Structure 1
Protein backbone atom coordinates (compact mmCIF):
# COMPACT_ATOMS: atom_id res chain seq x y z
CA UNK A 1 0.00 0.00 0.00
CA UNK A 2 2.80 2.43 0.83
CA UNK A 3 4.44 1.77 -2.53
CA UNK A 4 1.17 2.53 -4.31
CA UNK A 5 0.68 5.75 -2.34
CA UNK A 6 4.24 6.93 -2.89
CA UNK A 7 4.16 6.17 -6.63
CA UNK A 8 0.84 7.93 -7.10
CA UNK A 9 2.29 11.13 -5.61
CA UNK A 10 4.13 11.63 -8.90
CA UNK A 11 2.13 14.07 -11.01
CA UNK A 12 2.73 11.87 -14.06
CA UNK A 13 1.10 8.84 -12.42
CA UNK A 14 -2.36 8.19 -13.91
CA UNK A 15 -4.02 7.19 -10.61
CA UNK A 16 -4.94 9.09 -7.49
CA UNK A 17 -5.19 7.24 -4.18
CA UNK A 18 -8.39 8.53 -2.58
CA UNK A 19 -9.10 5.98 0.16
CA UNK A 20 -7.27 3.42 2.26
CA UNK A 21 -9.81 0.95 3.61
CA UNK A 22 -9.09 -1.93 5.97
CA UNK A 23 -11.10 -4.63 7.65
CA UNK A 24 -8.74 -4.31 10.64
CA UNK A 25 -9.18 -1.05 12.58
CA UNK A 26 -5.68 -1.43 14.05
CA UNK A 27 -3.94 -1.79 10.66
CA UNK A 28 -0.77 0.29 10.43
CA UNK A 29 -1.59 1.32 6.88
CA UNK A 30 -4.46 3.45 8.17
CA UNK A 31 -2.10 5.58 10.25
CA UNK A 32 0.30 5.94 7.33
CA UNK A 33 -2.53 7.03 5.04
CA UNK A 34 -3.85 9.58 7.55
CA UNK A 35 -0.38 11.09 7.87
CA UNK A 36 -0.21 11.25 4.06
CA UNK A 37 -3.50 13.15 3.94
CA UNK A 38 -5.50 10.29 2.44
CA UNK A 39 -9.02 9.43 3.59
CA UNK A 40 -9.21 6.23 5.64
CA UNK A 41 -11.94 3.86 6.75
CA UNK A 42 -12.11 0.68 8.79
CA UNK A 43 -14.89 -1.82 8.20
CA UNK A 44 -14.40 -4.48 10.88
CA UNK A 45 -15.61 -7.75 9.36
CA UNK A 46 -16.07 -9.25 12.84
CA UNK A 47 -19.16 -7.15 13.58
CA UNK A 48 -21.11 -8.38 10.53
CA UNK A 49 -23.34 -11.43 10.32
CA UNK A 50 -21.80 -12.49 6.99
CA UNK A 51 -19.61 -11.52 4.07
CA UNK A 52 -22.44 -9.93 2.09
CA UNK A 53 -23.25 -7.46 4.88
CA UNK A 54 -19.56 -6.65 5.32
CA UNK A 55 -19.16 -6.06 1.58
CA UNK A 56 -22.27 -3.85 1.45
CA UNK A 57 -20.64 -1.53 3.97
CA UNK A 58 -17.44 -1.49 1.93
CA UNK A 59 -19.41 -0.76 -1.23
CA UNK A 60 -21.08 2.27 0.38
CA UNK A 61 -17.67 3.72 1.29
CA UNK A 62 -16.25 2.99 -2.16
CA UNK A 63 -19.17 4.77 -3.79
CA UNK A 64 -18.93 7.68 -1.36
CA UNK A 65 -15.30 8.23 -2.37
CA UNK A 66 -16.09 7.66 -6.07
CA UNK A 67 -13.54 4.87 -6.32
CA UNK A 68 -12.93 3.46 -9.81
CA UNK A 69 -10.25 0.84 -9.10
CA UNK A 70 -9.55 -1.27 -6.02
CA UNK A 71 -6.03 -2.48 -5.21
CA UNK A 72 -5.94 -5.22 -2.59
CA UNK A 73 -2.77 -5.15 -0.50
CA UNK A 74 -2.56 -7.46 2.49
CA UNK A 75 -6.33 -7.94 2.41
CA UNK A 76 -6.63 -11.51 3.65
CA UNK A 77 -10.36 -12.12 3.20
CA UNK A 78 -12.12 -13.92 0.39
CA UNK A 79 -14.58 -11.69 -1.42
CA UNK A 80 -17.92 -13.05 -2.59
CA UNK A 81 -18.45 -13.73 -6.31
CA UNK A 82 -21.12 -11.01 -6.30
CA UNK A 83 -18.66 -8.36 -5.12
CA UNK A 84 -15.89 -9.58 -7.40
CA UNK A 85 -18.18 -9.63 -10.44
CA UNK A 86 -19.49 -6.14 -9.64
CA UNK A 87 -15.88 -4.90 -9.73
CA UNK A 88 -14.76 -7.08 -12.65
CA UNK A 89 -11.86 -5.47 -14.49
CA UNK A 90 -11.47 -2.90 -11.69
CA UNK A 91 -10.20 -5.09 -8.83
CA UNK A 92 -6.47 -5.84 -8.58
CA UNK A 93 -4.55 -8.09 -6.20
CA UNK A 94 -0.92 -8.91 -5.53
CA UNK A 95 0.02 -12.48 -4.68
CA UNK A 96 3.42 -13.66 -3.36
CA UNK A 97 4.00 -16.37 -5.96
CA UNK A 98 4.22 -16.78 -9.71
CA UNK A 99 0.63 -17.67 -10.48
CA UNK A 100 -0.81 -20.06 -11.45
CA UNK A 101 1.64 -21.80 -9.09
CA UNK A 102 1.18 -21.66 -5.31
CA UNK A 103 -2.28 -20.24 -4.92
CA UNK A 104 -3.36 -19.64 -1.34
CA UNK A 105 -1.20 -19.27 1.77
CA UNK A 106 2.35 -20.20 2.81
CA UNK A 107 3.67 -19.73 -0.71
CA UNK A 108 7.34 -19.32 0.23
CA UNK A 109 7.42 -22.40 2.45
CA UNK A 110 5.72 -24.47 -0.24
CA UNK A 111 8.11 -23.24 -2.92
CA UNK A 112 11.09 -24.23 -0.80
CA UNK A 113 9.60 -27.63 -0.01
CA UNK A 114 9.09 -28.25 -3.74
CA UNK A 115 12.69 -27.30 -4.49
CA UNK A 116 11.88 -24.69 -7.14
CA UNK A 117 14.73 -22.48 -8.33
CA UNK A 118 12.55 -19.50 -9.33
CA UNK A 119 9.85 -17.87 -7.21
CA UNK A 120 8.23 -14.45 -7.29
CA UNK A 121 5.04 -12.42 -7.24
CA UNK A 122 2.05 -11.66 -9.45
CA UNK A 123 -0.33 -8.73 -9.89
CA UNK A 124 -3.62 -9.89 -11.37
CA UNK A 125 -7.23 -8.93 -11.86
CA UNK A 126 -9.35 -10.67 -9.24
CA UNK A 127 -11.71 -13.45 -10.33
CA UNK A 128 -14.26 -15.25 -8.13
CA UNK A 129 -11.91 -18.23 -7.62
CA UNK A 130 -9.01 -17.70 -5.22
CA UNK A 131 -5.84 -16.25 -6.77
CA UNK A 132 -7.16 -16.45 -10.31
CA UNK A 133 -7.76 -13.84 -12.97
CA UNK A 134 -5.86 -12.23 -15.86
CA UNK A 135 -2.20 -11.64 -15.01
CA UNK A 136 -1.05 -8.03 -15.27
CA UNK A 137 2.57 -8.28 -14.10
CA UNK A 138 5.02 -10.72 -12.58
CA UNK A 139 8.52 -10.55 -11.14
CA UNK A 140 10.83 -13.46 -10.41
CA UNK A 141 13.62 -13.99 -7.92
CA UNK A 142 16.15 -16.79 -7.73
CA UNK A 143 15.69 -19.24 -4.86
CA UNK A 144 19.01 -19.52 -3.04
CA UNK A 145 20.34 -22.71 -1.49
CA UNK A 146 20.31 -21.21 2.01
CA UNK A 147 16.91 -19.53 1.73
CA UNK A 148 14.35 -19.74 4.48
CA UNK A 149 10.71 -18.75 4.03
CA UNK A 150 11.60 -15.42 5.67
CA UNK A 151 14.60 -14.58 3.48
CA UNK A 152 12.74 -15.59 0.35
CA UNK A 153 9.71 -13.53 1.42
CA UNK A 154 11.92 -10.47 1.90
CA UNK A 155 13.27 -10.63 -1.66
CA UNK A 156 9.83 -11.30 -3.13
CA UNK A 157 8.39 -8.34 -1.18
CA UNK A 158 11.00 -6.03 -2.72
CA UNK A 159 9.69 -7.04 -6.15
CA UNK A 160 6.07 -6.60 -5.05
CA UNK A 161 6.86 -2.98 -4.17
CA UNK A 162 8.18 -2.45 -7.71
CA UNK A 163 5.60 -4.20 -9.86
CA UNK A 164 2.37 -3.26 -8.08
CA UNK A 165 2.72 0.49 -8.77
CA UNK A 166 3.73 -0.29 -12.36
CA UNK A 167 0.71 -2.54 -12.82
CA UNK A 168 -1.61 0.08 -11.34
CA UNK A 169 -0.19 2.71 -13.68
CA UNK A 170 -0.80 0.46 -16.69
CA UNK A 171 -4.40 -0.28 -15.75
CA UNK A 172 -5.21 3.30 -14.71
CA UNK A 173 -3.80 4.55 -18.02
CA UNK A 174 -6.14 2.31 -20.01
CA UNK A 175 -3.22 1.22 -22.20
CA UNK A 176 -3.97 -2.50 -22.15
CA UNK A 177 -6.29 -5.15 -23.45
CA UNK A 178 -7.27 -8.53 -22.02
CA UNK A 179 -6.96 -11.68 -24.12
CA UNK A 180 -8.06 -14.74 -22.18
CA UNK A 181 -5.91 -14.78 -19.04
CA UNK A 182 -3.36 -12.35 -20.47
CA UNK A 183 -3.18 -8.59 -20.00
CA UNK A 184 -1.39 -7.05 -22.97
CA UNK A 185 0.03 -3.54 -22.97
CA UNK A 186 -0.96 -1.38 -25.96
CA UNK A 187 0.64 1.74 -27.45
CA UNK A 188 -2.39 3.24 -29.14
CA UNK A 189 -4.81 3.67 -26.23
CA UNK A 190 -6.48 7.04 -25.66
CA UNK A 191 -4.82 9.61 -23.40
CA UNK A 192 -5.18 8.33 -19.81
CA UNK A 193 -7.53 10.02 -17.38
CA UNK A 194 -6.80 10.01 -13.62
CA UNK A 195 -8.69 7.32 -11.72
CA UNK A 196 -9.65 7.40 -8.07
CA UNK A 197 -8.21 4.37 -6.33
CA UNK A 198 -8.25 3.03 -2.76
CA UNK A 199 -4.83 1.82 -1.65
Structure 2
Protein backbone atom coordinates (compact mmCIF):
# COMPACT_ATOMS: atom_id res chain seq x y z
CA UNK A 1 0.00 0.00 0.00
CA UNK A 2 1.38 3.39 -1.00
CA UNK A 3 0.44 6.90 0.00
CA UNK A 4 0.45 10.39 -1.46
CA UNK A 5 0.52 13.76 0.29
CA UNK A 6 -1.00 16.69 -1.58
CA UNK A 7 0.08 20.34 -1.49
CA UNK A 8 -2.59 22.80 -2.64
CA UNK A 9 -3.44 26.49 -2.39
CA UNK A 10 -6.88 26.93 -3.91
CA UNK A 11 -10.19 25.26 -4.67
CA UNK A 12 -8.87 21.73 -4.51
CA UNK A 13 -10.70 20.12 -7.43
CA UNK A 14 -7.63 18.07 -8.37
CA UNK A 15 -7.14 17.16 -4.71
CA UNK A 16 -10.70 15.83 -4.61
CA UNK A 17 -10.18 13.90 -7.84
CA UNK A 18 -7.10 12.26 -6.35
CA UNK A 19 -8.96 11.36 -3.15
CA UNK A 20 -11.91 9.89 -5.03
CA UNK A 21 -9.61 7.88 -7.29
CA UNK A 22 -7.75 6.37 -4.33
CA UNK A 23 -10.86 5.77 -2.22
CA UNK A 24 -11.26 2.17 -3.40
CA UNK A 25 -7.71 1.32 -2.29
CA UNK A 26 -5.16 -0.03 -1.88
CA UNK A 27 -3.39 3.35 -1.88
CA UNK A 28 -4.32 6.26 0.39
CA UNK A 29 -4.02 10.02 0.70
CA UNK A 30 -1.73 10.61 3.67
CA UNK A 31 -2.74 14.24 4.09
CA UNK A 32 -3.12 17.72 2.66
CA UNK A 33 -0.83 20.69 3.19
CA UNK A 34 -2.22 24.13 2.36
CA UNK A 35 -0.54 27.54 2.52
CA UNK A 36 -3.70 29.68 2.22
CA UNK A 37 -6.02 30.26 5.22
CA UNK A 38 -9.62 29.87 4.14
CA UNK A 39 -8.83 28.04 0.92
CA UNK A 40 -11.78 25.89 -0.24
CA UNK A 41 -9.48 22.85 -0.43
CA UNK A 42 -9.47 22.74 3.39
CA UNK A 43 -13.22 22.18 3.47
CA UNK A 44 -12.84 19.45 0.89
CA UNK A 45 -10.26 17.72 3.11
CA UNK A 46 -12.59 17.91 6.11
CA UNK A 47 -15.51 16.53 4.10
CA UNK A 48 -13.35 13.68 2.81
CA UNK A 49 -11.92 12.98 6.29
CA UNK A 50 -8.36 13.53 5.08
CA UNK A 51 -5.77 14.82 7.59
CA UNK A 52 -4.71 18.37 6.77
CA UNK A 53 -2.39 21.07 8.01
CA UNK A 54 -2.29 24.79 7.30
CA UNK A 55 1.20 26.19 6.84
CA UNK A 56 0.90 29.86 5.85
CA UNK A 57 3.88 31.81 4.61
CA UNK A 58 3.76 34.68 7.11
CA UNK A 59 5.65 37.07 4.82
CA UNK A 60 7.30 37.09 1.42
CA UNK A 61 10.83 37.05 2.83
CA UNK A 62 13.29 34.20 2.38
CA UNK A 63 13.19 33.66 6.14
CA UNK A 64 9.43 33.13 6.10
CA UNK A 65 9.76 30.69 3.21
CA UNK A 66 12.46 28.76 5.05
CA UNK A 67 10.30 28.60 8.19
CA UNK A 68 7.23 27.43 6.29
CA UNK A 69 9.16 24.82 4.36
CA UNK A 70 10.73 23.58 7.58
CA UNK A 71 7.26 23.05 9.05
CA UNK A 72 6.05 21.34 5.89
CA UNK A 73 9.06 19.03 5.90
CA UNK A 74 8.39 18.04 9.52
CA UNK A 75 4.74 17.29 8.80
CA UNK A 76 5.58 15.29 5.69
CA UNK A 77 8.19 13.29 7.60
CA UNK A 78 5.47 12.37 10.09
CA UNK A 79 3.03 11.38 7.34
CA UNK A 80 5.71 9.42 5.43
CA UNK A 81 4.16 9.63 1.96
CA UNK A 82 5.67 7.80 -0.98
CA UNK A 83 4.77 10.64 -3.36
CA UNK A 84 4.12 14.36 -2.86
CA UNK A 85 1.70 15.79 -5.43
CA UNK A 86 1.43 19.51 -6.12
CA UNK A 87 -2.17 20.31 -7.04
CA UNK A 88 -2.47 24.02 -7.61
CA UNK A 89 0.20 24.81 -5.01
CA UNK A 90 1.15 28.39 -5.86
CA UNK A 91 4.62 28.47 -4.33
CA UNK A 92 8.05 27.82 -5.80
CA UNK A 93 9.76 25.26 -3.59
CA UNK A 94 13.38 25.79 -2.63
CA UNK A 95 16.21 23.53 -3.75
CA UNK A 96 16.75 22.51 -0.12
CA UNK A 97 13.13 21.34 0.18
CA UNK A 98 13.29 19.47 -3.12
CA UNK A 99 16.52 17.77 -2.04
CA UNK A 100 14.80 16.61 1.17
CA UNK A 101 12.38 14.58 -0.96
CA UNK A 102 14.36 13.45 -4.02
CA UNK A 103 12.30 12.19 -6.95
CA UNK A 104 9.16 12.21 -4.81
CA UNK A 105 7.51 15.50 -5.80
CA UNK A 106 5.30 15.63 -8.89
CA UNK A 107 3.35 18.46 -10.47
CA UNK A 108 0.50 18.87 -12.94
CA UNK A 109 1.03 21.61 -15.53
CA UNK A 110 -1.84 22.69 -17.83
CA UNK A 111 0.15 22.71 -21.06
CA UNK A 112 2.17 20.31 -23.17
CA UNK A 113 5.64 20.97 -21.81
CA UNK A 114 8.10 22.27 -22.77
CA UNK A 115 5.57 24.74 -24.19
CA UNK A 116 4.08 27.45 -21.99
CA UNK A 117 5.99 26.99 -18.76
CA UNK A 118 4.91 29.09 -15.78
CA UNK A 119 1.67 30.88 -14.99
CA UNK A 120 -1.46 31.33 -17.12
CA UNK A 121 -0.56 28.36 -19.28
CA UNK A 122 -4.11 27.60 -20.44
CA UNK A 123 -4.65 31.16 -21.61
CA UNK A 124 -1.31 31.24 -23.39
CA UNK A 125 -2.08 27.90 -25.06
CA UNK A 126 -5.46 29.26 -26.12
CA UNK A 127 -3.87 32.31 -27.70
CA UNK A 128 -1.70 30.20 -30.01
CA UNK A 129 -2.66 28.62 -33.31
CA UNK A 130 -1.90 25.15 -31.95
CA UNK A 131 -4.52 22.61 -32.96
CA UNK A 132 -3.60 20.44 -29.96
CA UNK A 133 -3.06 21.62 -26.38
CA UNK A 134 -2.97 19.46 -23.25
CA UNK A 135 -1.47 18.78 -19.84
CA UNK A 136 1.78 17.40 -18.44
CA UNK A 137 2.63 15.55 -15.24
CA UNK A 138 6.30 15.89 -14.35
CA UNK A 139 8.77 15.50 -11.52
CA UNK A 140 9.64 18.80 -9.85
CA UNK A 141 13.17 20.18 -10.03
CA UNK A 142 14.51 23.62 -9.12
CA UNK A 143 13.44 25.16 -12.43
CA UNK A 144 9.98 26.35 -13.45
CA UNK A 145 8.19 23.36 -14.99
CA UNK A 146 11.48 21.92 -16.23
CA UNK A 147 11.52 18.55 -14.45
CA UNK A 148 11.48 15.13 -16.07
CA UNK A 149 8.21 14.50 -17.88
CA UNK A 150 6.17 11.54 -16.66
CA UNK A 151 3.16 11.84 -18.95
CA UNK A 152 1.78 14.29 -21.49
CA UNK A 153 -1.90 14.08 -22.39
CA UNK A 154 -3.01 15.98 -25.52
CA UNK A 155 -6.37 17.65 -26.06
CA UNK A 156 -7.61 18.66 -29.50
CA UNK A 157 -8.89 22.21 -29.88
CA UNK A 158 -12.48 22.75 -31.04
CA UNK A 159 -13.32 25.36 -33.64
CA UNK A 160 -14.90 28.44 -32.09
CA UNK A 161 -14.25 27.27 -28.54
CA UNK A 162 -14.06 30.01 -25.92
CA UNK A 163 -11.33 30.21 -23.30
CA UNK A 164 -13.83 29.24 -20.59
CA UNK A 165 -14.92 26.18 -22.57
CA UNK A 166 -11.32 25.12 -23.11
CA UNK A 167 -10.54 25.60 -19.43
CA UNK A 168 -13.45 23.36 -18.48
CA UNK A 169 -12.28 20.58 -20.79
CA UNK A 170 -8.70 20.97 -19.58
CA UNK A 171 -9.81 20.60 -15.96
CA UNK A 172 -11.82 17.49 -16.84
CA UNK A 173 -8.67 16.06 -18.45
CA UNK A 174 -6.65 16.95 -15.35
CA UNK A 175 -9.14 15.23 -13.06
CA UNK A 176 -8.83 12.01 -15.08
CA UNK A 177 -5.12 12.03 -15.81
CA UNK A 178 -3.44 13.19 -12.59
CA UNK A 179 -5.02 10.48 -10.40
CA UNK A 180 -4.16 7.84 -13.02
CA UNK A 181 -0.50 8.89 -12.98
CA UNK A 182 -0.38 8.93 -9.17
CA UNK A 183 -1.98 5.47 -9.03
CA UNK A 184 0.58 4.20 -11.53
CA UNK A 185 3.55 5.69 -9.66
CA UNK A 186 2.36 4.23 -6.36
CA UNK A 187 1.88 0.81 -7.95
CA UNK A 188 5.39 0.97 -9.41
CA UNK A 189 6.83 1.90 -6.01
CA UNK A 190 4.92 -0.95 -4.36
CA UNK A 191 6.35 -3.41 -6.86
CA UNK A 192 9.85 -1.99 -6.48
CA UNK A 193 9.77 -2.03 -2.67
CA UNK A 194 7.84 -5.27 -2.32
CA UNK A 195 4.99 -3.67 -0.40
CA UNK A 196 1.90 -5.79 0.07
CA UNK A 197 -1.62 -4.45 -0.18
CA UNK A 198 -4.63 -5.81 1.66
CA UNK A 199 -5.13 -9.60 1.38
TM-score by length of 2: 0.83
* Structure with greater contact order relative to length (CA < 8 Å, sep ≥ 6): 1
| Structure 1 unmatched runs, 5+ | 177-187, 195-199
- After the TM superposition, list the runs of 4 or more consecutive aligned residues in structure 1 that deviate by more than 4 angstroms: 188-194
CA apart distance, 1:149: 2.4
| Structure 2 unmatched runs, 5+ | 1-14
Q: Is the 8 A contact 2:109 2:137 kept in 1?
A: yes
Q: Distance in 2 between matches of 1:5 and 1:100?
A: 28
Aligned to 2:158: 144
What are the within-5 Å matches in structure 2 for residues 57-96 of structure 1? 57-96=71-110
Aligned length: 181
Instruction: Please say if 1:160 is aligned against 2:174.
Output: yes
128, 132, 140: which is aligned to 1:118? 132
Over residues 48-86 of structure 1, what are the superposed CA-to-partner deviations in whole Å (9 max), with x where a residue is unaligned? 743221100111111122223211101011001111122
Q: Distance in 2 between matches of 1:41 and 1:22?
A: 6
Instruction: Please say if 1:10 is aligned against 2:27.
Output: no
Q: Distance in 2 between matches of 1:80 and 1:165?
A: 25
Q: Distance in 2 between matches of 1:159 and 1:192?
A: 30
Q: Is the 8 A contact 2:110 2:170 kept in 1?
A: yes
Q: Distance in 2 between matches of 1:40 and 1:170?
A: 24
Q: Distance in 1 between matches of 2:194 and 2:173?
A: 28
69, 72, 79: which is aligned to 1:55? 69
